[in-house]
Amino acid sequence: MRHPASPQALPLLLLANAAVLGALPLLSEAPNRLLSGKGMLLQDALARAGQGWWAVAGIWCTAGVLLLLARGWPATQRPASYGLLVWLAGWVWGLCALCGTLAAAHQVRTEGLGRASLSSGLWLSVLLVWLSANELLRDLHARKPLTLGVWLGVVAGVLALLASGHLDALSTLKEYANRQEDFWRALRQHLYIIGWTVGLTLTAGLPMGVWLHRQPPWAARVFLVLSLVQTIPSIALFGLLMAALAWLGAVFPLLPAWGIQGIGLAPAVLALSLYSLLPLVRSTFEGLASVPAAAVESAHAMGMSGRQRLWQVELPLAAPVILSGLKVMLIQTIGLTAVAALIGAGGLGALMFEGLFSSALDLVLLAIAPIVVLAWCAEALFTALAAYSLPAHTSHDSI
C-alpha cells in the first residue's frame, strides 16, 4: 500500500506553503460584524506585529532550511525528519498565535466592534503542513501509534492556545463567547442524537446481519430495500417520517406522551437509523461471509452450539469488517445529524442553519468545527480499534 516517498515532494510542499503565505491573506479584518473584511498578507501581519515576530519568523525559516539539508544526509536523516515534524507543528502554532495577537490588536483599535477572522492563506497553509507531515511520516514508515501521537500533539498545542485565551479575539471565538450556552447545549443534543441512533442501529442491524447470513435467500431482498432507503434524500426522509409519526401519534395518543411525535428527536433518530442500517447490516453480512469455511466446519464438528459458533468463531473473525462498517456508519451519522435540525431535533445543525440564515459565517464555522472534530475522533477511534483487534492473528504485511 505504501508508495515510496519521492525526495522532492517535501521541499516542493514547503515551497508551495511559502508561496501560499506570500500570496493569500492570513487574516481578514472587518470594522464590524456585518461588513466584509479586508485581507492581510503574512508580511503585513509580521510588520504589524512587531520586531520580535520578524525575528522568530527568520529563525524558524533558517531552522527549516537547515533541517531539510540535514535530512538529505543519510546519517542525520531520521533525527532531521523528527525535527521537521516538530518544526511543522511549530509552524501551525506560530501562525495561530500570530493571528491571535493581531486580532487582539484589532479589537483594541475598533473598540471591540471589529471582527478579525482566519482567512484562506492560513487554511491552505495548514492543509499543506498536513500533507508535508504525511509525507514525513510515510518516509519514516511510522506505525499508527506514532501517526496518531503526532496529530494529537498538534491538536493539543492548538487547544492549549485556545485555553490560554490568546485566541479569544478571533471572530469565531467571539461568537463562541456570545453563544457559549447555546453551543454546549447543541453539542450535547448532537451527541444525544448520535448515541440513540448508534444504539438503535446496533440493536437492529447486528441481529439483522446475522439473520441474513443464515437465511441467504432473504439477503438480496433486504439489501434492495435498504439501498432504496439510502437513495432517498435526507430531508425527504425526515419529511416522510414526520408525517408518518404525526399520524401514529394521532392514532395512539400514548406515543406523543412518550416523546414519539412528528417533530423532534423521534423522527430524526428513526431516519438516521434507517440510513445507518445499510452500512452496518452489509458489513455484518459480508464479515460473516468472509469467515473461512473450514473454521466454520470445524466449529460445527467440534460440537459448538449455534450461539457458541457465532460468539466464539464467527463474530470475532468478522470483527474487522464489521468495525469498518461501524466506522462508516458513525461518521455518516455525525454529519447527517446536522440536517436533523430542520425537523426540530436540535443539535449543532440548529446553530449552523441559524448562522446560514443570518449570514453569520462565524456562527456557521462554530457549529461545523465540532462536527469535523467528532468525525476525526471517530476515525481515530476506529483506526485504533482495528489496530488492536487484528495483529494477534494476522501479520502486519497482510493488512
Partner 1 sequence: MIQFEQVRKGYGGRLAVADLNLHIAAGEFVVLIGPSGSGKSTTLRMINRLVEHDAGSIRFAGREIRSFSPEDLRRRMGYAIQSVGLFPHWSIEKNIGTVPRLLGWPADHIAARVHELLLLLQLNPADFVHRYPHELSGGQQQRVGVARALAADPEVLLMDEPFGALDPVTRIALQKEIKRIHALSGKTIVLVTHDIDEALFLATRIVLFRDGQVVQDGSPLDLLAHPAHDFVRDFLGRADLGIKRLGLDSVGSRFRAGVSATGSALGLDTNLRDALSAFISQGRDSLPVVHTDGSHAGALYFEDLLHTGPALPPVTT
Positions touching partner 1 (CB under 8 A) are 292-305, 308, 312-313, 316-317, 392-395
Cell (9 digits) for 1: 500500500
Contact 161, 155 (CB under 8 A): no
Indicate the Cα dihedral angle 363, 367, 370, 371, nearest 10°: -140
**Shortest spacing between CB 308 and partner 1, in angstroms:** 7
| Residue (356 or 399) nearer to partner 1, CB | 399
| Residue (32 or 312) nearer to partner 1, CB | 312
**Shortest spacing between CB 307 and partner 1, in angstroms:** 11
Report the Cα–Cα distance between both ends of the chain, in Å, rounded: 9
Report the C-alpha gap between 307 and 214 in whole angstroms: 12
**Shortest spacing between CB 394 and partner 1, in angstroms:** 7
**Shortest spacing between CB 211 and partner 1, in angstroms:** 21
Cβ burial 317-342 (10 Å sphere, 16+ → b, else e): bbbbbbbbbbbbbbbbbbebbbbbbb
**Shortest spacing between CB 216 and partner 1, in angstroms:** 18
| Residue (103 or 313) nearer to partner 1, CB | 313
| Residue (122 or 299) nearer to partner 1, CB | 299
**Shortest spacing between CB 284 and partner 1, in angstroms:** 17
For 240, 243, 253, 314, the CA distances from 250, given in Å and listed in that order, are: 16, 11, 6, 44
| Residue (302 or 356) nearer to partner 1, CB | 302
Report the interhelical angle of 42-49 vs 51-71 (nearest 10°).
130
| Residue (163 or 294) nearer to partner 1, CB | 294
Contact 235, 306 (CB under 8 A): no
